[in-house]
Amino acid sequence: MTDTQQRVAMGYIKGVFGIKGWVKIAASTEYSDSLLDYPEWLLSKDGKTLSVSVEAGKVVSGELQVKFKGIEDRDRAFSLRGYTIEIPREAFAPAEEDEYYWADLVGMQVANTDGIVLGEVKNLMETGAHDVLVIEGEYGQKLIPFVSQYIENVDNDNRTITADWGLDY
Protein backbone atom coordinates (compact mmCIF):
# COMPACT_ATOMS: atom_id res chain seq x y z
CA MET A 1 0.00 0.00 0.00
CA THR A 2 1.31 3.44 -0.86
CA ASP A 3 1.14 6.48 1.37
CA THR A 4 -0.97 8.24 -1.26
CA GLN A 5 -3.98 6.01 -0.61
CA GLN A 6 -6.67 7.61 1.54
CA ARG A 7 -7.02 5.86 4.88
CA VAL A 8 -10.12 6.24 7.01
CA ALA A 9 -10.01 6.05 10.80
CA MET A 10 -12.60 3.48 11.91
CA GLY A 11 -11.98 3.36 15.66
CA TYR A 12 -9.20 2.62 18.12
CA ILE A 13 -7.91 -0.09 20.43
CA LYS A 14 -9.13 0.78 23.91
CA GLY A 15 -7.77 -2.11 25.95
CA VAL A 16 -7.12 -5.82 26.29
CA PHE A 17 -9.34 -8.76 27.11
CA GLY A 18 -8.09 -11.96 28.69
CA ILE A 19 -4.58 -13.35 28.49
CA LYS A 20 -4.47 -14.73 24.93
CA GLY A 21 -3.90 -11.51 22.98
CA TRP A 22 -7.46 -10.28 22.47
CA VAL A 23 -8.10 -6.51 22.32
CA LYS A 24 -11.21 -4.40 22.92
CA ILE A 25 -12.16 -2.02 20.12
CA ALA A 26 -13.99 1.31 20.22
CA ALA A 27 -15.47 1.26 16.71
CA SER A 28 -16.65 4.44 15.02
CA THR A 29 -18.79 2.51 12.54
CA GLU A 30 -22.58 2.23 12.49
CA TYR A 31 -22.32 -1.42 13.56
CA SER A 32 -19.28 -2.36 15.66
CA ASP A 33 -18.83 -5.71 13.88
CA SER A 34 -18.61 -3.93 10.48
CA LEU A 35 -14.86 -3.75 11.06
CA LEU A 36 -14.74 -7.53 10.76
CA ASP A 37 -15.57 -7.08 7.05
CA TYR A 38 -11.94 -6.01 6.60
CA PRO A 39 -9.37 -8.80 7.18
CA GLU A 40 -6.37 -6.42 7.11
CA TRP A 41 -6.15 -3.34 9.33
CA LEU A 42 -3.58 -0.58 9.59
CA LEU A 43 -2.87 0.55 13.14
CA SER A 44 -1.31 3.98 13.60
CA LYS A 45 -0.03 5.92 16.59
CA ASP A 46 2.64 8.58 17.01
CA GLY A 47 3.69 8.41 13.34
CA LYS A 48 4.12 4.64 13.44
CA THR A 49 1.95 2.33 11.30
CA LEU A 50 1.54 -1.42 11.73
CA SER A 51 -0.28 -3.81 9.41
CA VAL A 52 -2.27 -6.54 11.18
CA SER A 53 -4.48 -9.42 10.09
CA VAL A 54 -7.68 -10.20 11.94
CA GLU A 55 -7.67 -13.82 13.13
CA ALA A 56 -11.00 -13.74 14.98
CA GLY A 57 -13.56 -11.28 16.25
CA LYS A 58 -16.79 -11.20 18.22
CA VAL A 59 -19.21 -8.76 19.78
CA VAL A 60 -19.71 -9.28 23.51
CA SER A 61 -22.29 -7.11 25.30
CA GLY A 62 -22.14 -4.60 22.44
CA GLU A 63 -18.33 -4.40 22.51
CA LEU A 64 -16.12 -5.59 19.66
CA GLN A 65 -13.27 -7.90 20.70
CA VAL A 66 -10.60 -8.91 18.19
CA LYS A 67 -7.66 -11.30 18.02
CA PHE A 68 -4.85 -10.50 15.57
CA LYS A 69 -2.59 -13.11 13.97
CA GLY A 70 0.75 -13.21 15.77
CA ILE A 71 -0.46 -11.44 18.93
CA GLU A 72 -0.58 -14.31 21.40
CA ASP A 73 -0.40 -12.78 24.89
CA ARG A 74 -1.76 -9.96 27.00
CA ASP A 75 1.51 -7.96 27.01
CA ARG A 76 1.72 -7.84 23.18
CA ALA A 77 -1.96 -6.94 23.01
CA PHE A 78 -1.53 -4.21 25.64
CA SER A 79 1.25 -2.63 23.55
CA LEU A 80 -1.41 -1.90 20.88
CA ARG A 81 -3.60 0.13 23.24
CA GLY A 82 -4.34 3.60 21.85
CA TYR A 83 -3.60 2.71 18.22
CA THR A 84 -6.07 4.11 15.67
CA ILE A 85 -7.61 1.56 13.31
CA GLU A 86 -7.44 2.67 9.67
CA ILE A 87 -8.88 1.04 6.58
CA PRO A 88 -7.91 2.07 3.02
CA ARG A 89 -10.87 3.89 1.43
CA GLU A 90 -10.66 1.69 -1.66
CA ALA A 91 -11.41 -1.38 0.48
CA PHE A 92 -14.94 -0.10 1.20
CA ALA A 93 -17.83 -1.78 -0.59
CA PRO A 94 -19.60 0.49 -3.07
CA ALA A 95 -22.26 2.61 -1.38
CA GLU A 96 -25.87 1.86 -2.24
CA GLU A 97 -27.85 4.41 -4.25
CA ASP A 98 -28.58 7.51 -2.13
CA GLU A 99 -26.20 6.27 0.57
CA TYR A 100 -22.84 7.84 1.35
CA TYR A 101 -19.83 7.09 3.48
CA TRP A 102 -19.15 9.88 5.97
CA ALA A 103 -15.51 9.86 4.86
CA ASP A 104 -16.63 10.85 1.35
CA LEU A 105 -18.82 13.74 2.55
CA VAL A 106 -16.17 15.37 4.74
CA GLY A 107 -14.39 18.08 2.76
CA MET A 108 -17.24 18.63 0.28
CA GLN A 109 -18.30 22.22 -0.43
CA VAL A 110 -21.90 23.03 0.48
CA ALA A 111 -23.92 25.68 -1.35
CA ASN A 112 -27.56 26.59 -0.90
CA THR A 113 -30.15 26.63 -3.69
CA ASP A 114 -29.36 30.34 -4.29
CA GLY A 115 -25.76 29.37 -5.12
CA ILE A 116 -24.30 30.90 -1.93
CA VAL A 117 -21.43 28.79 -0.60
CA LEU A 118 -22.19 27.98 3.05
CA GLY A 119 -18.84 26.31 3.68
CA GLU A 120 -17.21 22.92 3.85
CA VAL A 121 -18.35 19.73 5.57
CA LYS A 122 -16.03 19.40 8.59
CA ASN A 123 -17.74 16.50 10.28
CA LEU A 124 -21.02 14.65 10.72
CA MET A 125 -23.01 13.96 13.88
CA GLU A 126 -25.46 11.21 14.70
CA THR A 127 -28.61 12.41 16.43
CA GLY A 128 -30.49 9.13 16.54
CA ALA A 129 -33.11 10.34 14.07
CA HIS A 130 -30.68 11.20 11.25
CA ASP A 131 -27.15 12.37 10.52
CA VAL A 132 -26.30 16.07 10.59
CA LEU A 133 -23.67 17.79 8.43
CA VAL A 134 -21.38 20.13 10.38
CA ILE A 135 -20.53 22.95 7.95
CA GLU A 136 -17.95 25.65 8.59
CA GLY A 137 -17.42 28.65 6.38
CA GLU A 138 -17.67 32.38 5.90
CA TYR A 139 -21.13 32.47 7.54
CA GLY A 140 -20.07 30.55 10.64
CA GLN A 141 -20.99 27.03 11.61
CA LYS A 142 -24.16 25.52 10.19
CA LEU A 143 -25.77 22.23 11.22
CA ILE A 144 -27.79 20.80 8.35
CA PRO A 145 -29.81 17.58 8.72
CA PHE A 146 -28.65 15.10 6.08
CA VAL A 147 -32.17 14.26 4.89
CA SER A 148 -33.86 14.66 1.49
CA GLN A 149 -36.02 17.52 2.83
CA TYR A 150 -32.88 19.73 2.97
CA ILE A 151 -30.30 18.01 0.75
CA GLU A 152 -31.09 18.60 -2.91
CA ASN A 153 -28.03 16.98 -4.48
CA VAL A 154 -24.73 15.31 -3.63
CA ASP A 155 -22.25 15.51 -6.52
CA ASN A 156 -19.41 13.09 -5.76
CA ASP A 157 -17.49 13.98 -8.93
CA ASN A 158 -17.37 17.72 -8.18
CA ARG A 159 -17.31 17.21 -4.37
CA THR A 160 -20.29 19.51 -3.83
CA ILE A 161 -23.58 19.34 -1.95
CA THR A 162 -26.60 21.55 -2.72
CA ALA A 163 -28.82 22.21 0.29
CA ASP A 164 -32.15 23.98 0.67
CA TRP A 165 -30.80 26.04 3.56
CA GLY A 166 -30.93 29.79 4.17
CA LEU A 167 -28.14 31.94 5.55
CA ASP A 168 -30.27 32.87 8.56
CA TYR A 169 -31.02 29.30 9.71
Residues 21 and 53 in one domain: yes
Residues 78 and 137 in one domain: no
Contact by Cβ (8 Å): 144, 150: yes
Residues 141 and 74 in one domain: no
**Containing structural domain, residue 86:** 7-91
Give residue-wise pLDDT tens across range 70-93. Answer: 999 999 999 999 999 999 988 998
Contact by Cβ (8 Å): 121, 134: yes
DSSP line for 123-155 = EEEE-SSSEEEEEEETTEEEEEE-STTTEEEEE
Give residue-wise pLDDT tens across range 15-53. Answer: 999 999 999 999 988 788 999 999 999 999 999 999 999
Which DSSP helix (H) or strand (E) runs through 86? strand 84-88
Residues 61 and 135 in one domain: no
This prediction's pTM: 0.74
Q: What is the pLDDT of residue 95?
A: 86
Is pLDDT of 165 > 60?
A: yes
Give residue-wise pLDDT tens across range 116-160. Answer: 999 999 999 988 889 999 999 999 999 999 999 999 999 999 999
Number of domains in the chain: 2
Domain CATH number, residue 117: 2.30.30.240
**Cα–Cα distance, 159 to 39 (Å, whole number):** 30
